[in-house]
Structures are given as C-alpha cells and as structure tokens.
C-alpha cells in the first residue's frame, strides 16, 4: 500500500477545519444558538461578494473583512428581532439568513460580468483541488497547499481565542445574567464569539463550502447529547 500525499493533505486540512468548527460549535450549542452558525454561514455571502468586487481576488483581506462584518450584522439582526421585535429565536434566525443569503445571490447575478464567483463553489467547496493550489514564495519556494496553511492558521486562532476567553465563554454560555453581575461584558464576549465564527466560516468556504461548515458547527457538539442521561 503506497502513501498518497495528496489524500493525506486533503484529510489533514479537512480535520483542521472540522476541529476548529467543533470547538466553536460547543459554545454555540451551550447558548442554544447552534443554528446561528447556519445563519452566519449563509449571511456572509454578500460580504464575500462585495469584498471580491472591491479587491478582485477571492484571497484578499477585503473578502475576510466583508464576511466578518456581515457575520456581525447577522448576529445583531437576530438579537434585534428577538429582543426588540419580539420574534422567536428560530424565526429571527430564519428571517436573517434567508434575507442576507438572498441578497448575496442577487449580487452575484447582478455582478456576474465583473465577479468570477461561483455559487456552487461557495456552497460545496473545492477541497479536491487543494493539492494543486500551492503557496509559492517570490523566490520560487513551494510551501505546500495554501488552503492547508489557511486552515492551520484558523485552527491556531480558534485555540488561542478559546484559551484566552475560556472562563468568560463558559460563564456567559451557562448564565448570561450571572456573568454580567460578575463584571463580564456578556455582549462583548458574544460579539467576539460571533466574529471568530464568521472568520472560521469564510476561511473554510473555499475548501469545504457553506453546507459542510454548518454541519461541522452543529454535528460534533450535538453528539454530546447522545447516550444515557444521568
């Protein structure tokens, strides 16, 4: 049996993305906001399109910034609909992600002649092409697949974020009112969590796509509910 380096890189990259999404998904589930990850993964599409239109590249900082801002906007919209408009959480999530995702699809169609962005690539990803998309330095040194480096960087960001804010994330996830009494800015922590979820989502689009990102955010932490109850 021979070692297939390409298959290893694909599995390794997918594993990094799955672990990153799984770590974040635990806190989303504790907050009963698992489907908020679904909303964010769809809502960032307009930000990706606008960022790509501004920069002309799918790999630019503008795309990440645009997606991050739309992810935060989606979070704020969900919170506003739930608290101010008194819409139930599930309904507010559905309204937000369908509205923003539809806007993203409309933008792609309107700017189709200027924006080379495929909806199917955003939805399903292209991880099979990972080995041929190498990061090559100006000196000609091949450092390996670019998406693998991106997934590794995102993994480090997620681990660092959880390590630095673990206590705050736990307290705000289990009892937001108690954490506020303890002096923890619950809204700020929630916004930071949504921001890192947005970044993880957009950094994973190119490889696994929006649909699998949602599954990776929801399914791993959902397995905690399986088995006998105490």
Q: What is the structure's pLDDT at 163?
A: 93
Q: Where are the beta strands (DSSP E) in 22-179?
A: 134-136, 142-145
**pTM for the structure as a whole:** 0.78
Q: Name which residue leads in pLDDT, 217 or 161.
A: 161
Q: How confident is the model at residue 58 (pLDDT cuts 50, 70, 90)?
A: low
Mean pLDDT of the chain: 78
Residue 74 near residue 100 (C-beta atoms within 8 A): yes
Gap between the Cα atoms of 53 and 63, Å rounded: 9
Strand, helix or coil for residue 123:
helix
Mean pLDDT (whole number) for 53-69: 72
Q: What is the structure's pLDDT at 124?
A: 62
Q: Name which residue leads in pLDDT, 24 or 8.
A: 24
- Whether 160 shows a pLDDT value over 90: the answer reads yes
Give the residue extent of every domain in the chain. Answer: 16-219
Mean pLDDT (whole number) for 14-26: 88
- Whether 114 shows a pLDDT value over 60: the answer reads no
Low-confidence winner among 33-37, 74-78, 195-199, 217-221 (lowest mean pLDDT): 33-37
Gap between the Cα atoms of 36 and 107, Å rounded: 23
Q: Output DSSP code: residue 60.
A: S
Gap between the Cα atoms of 204 and 40, Å rounded: 13
Q: What is the structure's pLDDT at 115?
A: 56
Residue 86 has phi, psi (to 5 degrees) of 55, 40
Q: What is the structure's pLDDT at 125?
A: 66
Alpha-carbon radius of gyration of the chain? 18
Q: How confident is the model at residue 159 (pLDDT cuts 50, 70, 90)?
A: very high
């Amino acid at each position: 049996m021979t070692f297939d380096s390409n298959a290893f890189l694909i599995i390794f990259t997918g594993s990094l993305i799955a672990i990153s999404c799984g770590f974040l998904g635990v806190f989303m589930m504790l907050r009963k906001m698992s489907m908020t990850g679904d909303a964010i993964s769809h809502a960032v599409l307009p930000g990706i399109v606008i960022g790509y239109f501004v920069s002309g590249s799918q790999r630019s900082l503008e795309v990440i910034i645009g997606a991050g801002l739309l992810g935060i906007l989606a979070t704020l919209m969900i919170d506003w609909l739930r608290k101010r408009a008194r819409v139930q959480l599930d309904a507010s999530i559905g309204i937000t992600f369908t509205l923003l995702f539809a806007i993203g699809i409309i933008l792609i169609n309107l700017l189709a002649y200027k924006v080379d962005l495929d909806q199917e690539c955003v939805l399903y990803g292209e991880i099979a092409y990972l080995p041929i998309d190498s990061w090559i330095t100006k000196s000609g040194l091949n450092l390996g697949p670019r998406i693998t480096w991106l997934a590794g960087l995102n993994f480090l960001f997620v681990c660092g974020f959880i390590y630095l804010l673990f206590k705050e994330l736990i307290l705000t996830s289990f009892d937001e009112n108690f954490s506020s009494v303890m002096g923890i800015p619950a809204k700020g922590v929630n916004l930071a969590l949504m921001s890192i979820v947005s970044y993880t989502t957009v950094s994973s689009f190119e490889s696994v796509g929006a649909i699998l990102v949602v599954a990776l955010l929801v399914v791993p932490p959902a397995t905690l509910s399986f088995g006998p109850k105490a």
